[in-house]
Structure 1
Amino acid sequence: MRGRPAPRERCRHVMFRRRALRRRLAAAGANHIPDDTLRRLSRALDTPPASECVPADPNLKLVVTRLFRFPDLRDLNELRRLPVCREQNCCNPHHWSRLSEPEIPPPPYTPYAMDDVKTKDHGESTADARRTDHERLTAGSLATDGEEKGTWETEWCRLAYWELARRVGRQFGVRVRCVDVFGGAGAGRAGLCLDALEDATKADQVKKIRSKIGLGVTLSLESDGVWLYNRSQQPVFCSSPALDAAAARALLVWRVPPGHCLRVFDPAAPPPAASLPHVGPVDPRSVRISFAKGWGPKYSRRDVTACPCWLEVLLAPPS
């Protein structure tokens, strides 16, 4: 049985990896990289979920992010720092998320007949948005489910986790500015750990999707609104009345790819309460997020309650 490498061997291995990293960065167009920056960057690349900030110049940030996150990245303006990052000039590629912009104008609506909706799973569709009927949308919020509290105190949102049409666990009140929602791979992080909720017998599709949630999503209340950061390796799908200002009286479902982010609500300009044809009242402060699987007329799942694992974010009313 072989033991752990001797300290001298480990040191040589680390030095070899750093030299290889320096050559790779230089070949991609990076300028001179200080030894301390190279050491910190090498450690950060080895531990993405909890990696440290690595201060560097913008050129290195662009090169590193292209190499290790987004090969087709054109400009640093396409990036937004994750709330976990504390360094404005950080070049740790795992501390950056790519902006996922809604299409304007949205794609034209086509009234699909139910016979045209195949049972095939279209969750990996490349289309960024699909309209949805929200057939079971009710006045108020699905998340309350008879549990609505009278006062919000210092909470800015509440989270409710669903599996298909079944609520799992109680509402999770959020008072801190940033909250993580994650699976088992995110152990050790603060926030809502879905694996810590009740472990009842689940449908196979629920078990499969739940196992893929991993680092999940981060929801952050920032100066310019509420942002959703997709930290997982799967896309997430989001529906929010705040995203639909350009839509003609219909709600959209937006696809947010892995590593991307999207502003899902702007407290400075909240959408007015509305009632959609054939749907009824729409809660303007309710955001729905589905893990890995989308919903709407182009999917086998017509409604969010048909998604295996999904989250409702109920935002606090204006004070």
Structure 2
Amino acid sequence: MLMQLVTKFLLIRIDRRFDVYFNLTCIIMDYQYFLTHFNNFLTMDIDEGESSSGGPISSLNSLFSFTSPAVKKLLGWKQGDEEEKWAEKAVDSLVKKLKKRKGAIEELERALSCPGTPSKCVTIPRSLDGRLQVSHRKGLPHVIYCRVWRWPDLQSHHELKPLEHCQFPFSAKQKEVCINPYHYKRVESPVLPPVLVPRHNDFVPGHSLLPFQQLVEPNMPHNVRYSQNGFSTNQMSPSSPLSNVPSPGSVTSNNPQSPYANLAETPPPAYSPTDENNTNANNNQNPESILTTDVQPVAYQEQPFWASIAYYELNSRVGEVFHCHSTSVIVDGFTNPSNNSDRFCLGQLSNVNRNSTIENTRRHIGKGVHLYYVNGEVYAECLSDSAIFVQSRNCNHHHNFHPSTVCKIPAGCSLRIFNNAEFAQLLSQCVNHGFEAVYELTKMCTIRMSFVKGWGAEYHRQDVTSTPCWIEIHLHGPLQWLDKVLTQMGAPHNAISSVS
């Protein structure tokens, strides 16, 4: 009997201990499960590619964060389906600024809900550099919010123009900036007129090249510096045609000392018909009527790839040629191996002949340069901490520089390096001067750009092939246009032989 009681007591104790042990085991497992998932939550920002600079505190705050009704309402007018998180952060940042201004959020909602009705300016304070940072990406505020609410494919502020009734446009550089997307309009891409190519190629001698094409190439290119205030130079020589910058729409200069001063006034040569039987009839014909009746129009066409970029170290090309499909391309010094259509990473390219100077220069390329093609214009924005150096004959022609001039673009500055409309005007003039004049324009379709190190008269490197890291940009649209014009013109007038 005693043994039965002891056995029963021990079984009860064991059973109770097992319950306690089982309960403790469950608690420990739940705790381990919690730790695992909480640790995943803390590292969630890193896994998603976001910055972890805020650490666990910022992650913990985001656990209890929520999207405010004002942000949700404004997101209802968002255009496009891409970059949802970025758009939400941009709108949330804007709402926090507009809350400090009475009626600002309501005015923005009114503008978005009724696009056709007049609305007031919705402004935010202008930052020191004019840009706004959203999720570690900097951009101009009016571009950011026009992209969110009107044009998701917007690339640059050069595509926008303020309406006349906007009191605080970004271009006015006031203390306040209007971000009302309906106070801006998108600039339409200009339609280039076709080039009228004469059917006859018998040109008067002495008109083979235009004045700016006859300039003697210097031993070393001239150098100019570009900044937010315009161009400056330390060296002014008689052979350096540096003059006041003309208006943005002008192609020629009124400066009598400029080599382009007489460009527009140069009369086109007369045409000699190939049919001798019609000589007398054509002699009595107005030359202008010949131009309008005896020509072949050649139109400009956009290409699938607007440009191609080749990377060089000294005089050797490194890697494959990059074809620009996206109208916005960044060339940087980093190592992203993926084949992005909008990013050309030079850091991943190898070269067995690379020396220490090249290695050191490559380390300073950093964020590199942002190239974008907008409305027939090509712009270069220096994103690197070090300057970039650009040789663009189209840009030099616009600013009345010598064709081979090298422009220094410091960090944070943007420069237009090619303009299709000005190229079209030059091409229309060159076809009246013969094959050689048109062929000479091929040089204008190639742009050379060096990172960190410059070349020219003010530097010990005389040529771009002496710089450690540089790229060569070929513009496909203008080159294809030249090809069609040259094909239509036929062979050059000047004969050539094996001993010429």
Q: In the TM superposition, what is the alpha-carbon distance from 1:249 to its structure 2 partner?
A: 4.0
Does the 8 Å CA contact 1:185/1:215 hold for their aligned counterparts?
Answer: no
Matched, 1:167 2:317: yes
Matched, 1:86 2:133: no
Matched, 1:108 2:236: yes
**Aligned-partner Cα distance in 1 for 2:305–2:337:** 24
**Could you list the runs of 5+ residues in structure 2 that have no partner in the other structure?**
1-38, 43-54, 63-68, 72-84, 99-121, 134-139, 151-155, 159-170, 172-226, 241-301, 434-439, 482-500
* Shift in alpha-carbon separation, 1:285–1:291, aligned structure 2, 3 A: same
Matched, 1:179 2:329: yes
Amino acid at match of 2:404: L
* Shift in alpha-carbon separation, 1:208–1:153, aligned structure 2, 3 A: same
Does the 8 Å CA contact 1:80/1:96 hold for their aligned counterparts?
Answer: no
Aligned 1:1-319 pairs, distance under 5 A = 10-11=57-58, 54-55=90-91, 56=94, 60=124, 62-63=126-127, 65=129, 86-87=147-148, 100=228, 102-103=230-231, 108-109=236-237, 154-184=304-334, 190-245=342-397, 246-247=399-400, 249-270=402-423, 283-316=443-476, 317-319=479-481
* Shift in alpha-carbon separation, 1:203–1:101, aligned structure 2, 3 A: farther
Q: Give the secondary structure class of the aligned counterpart of 2:352.
A: coil
Q: TM-score w.r.t. structure 1 length?
A: 0.56
Q: Deviations over 1:160-185 (max 9, x none)?
A: 11111111123222222222211226
- Residue aligning to 1:130: none
* More deviation, 193-202/293-302: 193-202
* Shift in alpha-carbon separation, 1:11–1:218, aligned structure 2, 3 A: closer
- Residue aligning to 1:148: none
Does the 8 Å CA contact 1:159/1:311 hold for their aligned counterparts?
Answer: yes
Does the 8 Å CA contact 2:393/2:447 hold for their aligned counterparts?
Answer: yes
**Aligned-partner Cα distance in 2 for 1:80–1:307:** 37
Q: In the TM superposition, what is the alpha-carbon distance from 1:203 to its structure 2 partner?
A: 1.1
* Shift in alpha-carbon separation, 1:201–1:176, aligned structure 2, 3 A: same
- Residue aligning to 1:45: none
Q: TM-score w.r.t. structure 2 length?
A: 0.38
CA RMSD of aligned residues (A): 4.8
Q: Give the secondary structure class of the aligned counterpart of 1:86.
A: helix
Does the 8 Å CA contact 2:310/2:472 hold for their aligned counterparts?
Answer: yes
Q: Give the secondary structure class of the aligned counterpart of 1:54.
A: helix
Q: In the TM superposition, what is the alpha-carbon distance from 1:68 to its structure 2 partner?
A: 8.2
Q: Which structure: greater strand fraction?
A: 1
Q: In the TM superposition, what is the alpha-carbon distance from 1:86 to its structure 2 partner?
A: 2.9
The structure whose RCO (Cα within 8 Å, separation 6+) is larger is: 1
Identity of counterpart residues, as a percentage? 24
Does the 8 Å CA contact 2:396/2:403 hold for their aligned counterparts?
Answer: yes
Q: Give the secondary structure class of the aligned counterpart of 2:147.
A: coil
Q: In the TM superposition, what is the alpha-carbon distance from 1:235 to its structure 2 partner?
A: 1.1
Q: Give the secondary structure class of the aligned counterpart of 2:231.
A: coil
Does the 8 Å CA contact 2:454/2:467 hold for their aligned counterparts?
Answer: yes
Q: Give the secondary structure class of the aligned counterpart of 1:254.
A: strand
Q: Deviations over 1:146-205 (max 9, x none)?
A: xxxxxx962211111111111112322222222221122667664221123234241111
* Shift in alpha-carbon separation, 1:307–1:64, aligned structure 2, 3 A: same
* Shift in alpha-carbon separation, 1:228–1:88, aligned structure 2, 3 A: farther
Q: Which structure: greater helix fraction?
A: 2
* Shift in alpha-carbon separation, 1:315–1:66, aligned structure 2, 3 A: closer
Amino acid at match of 1:219: L
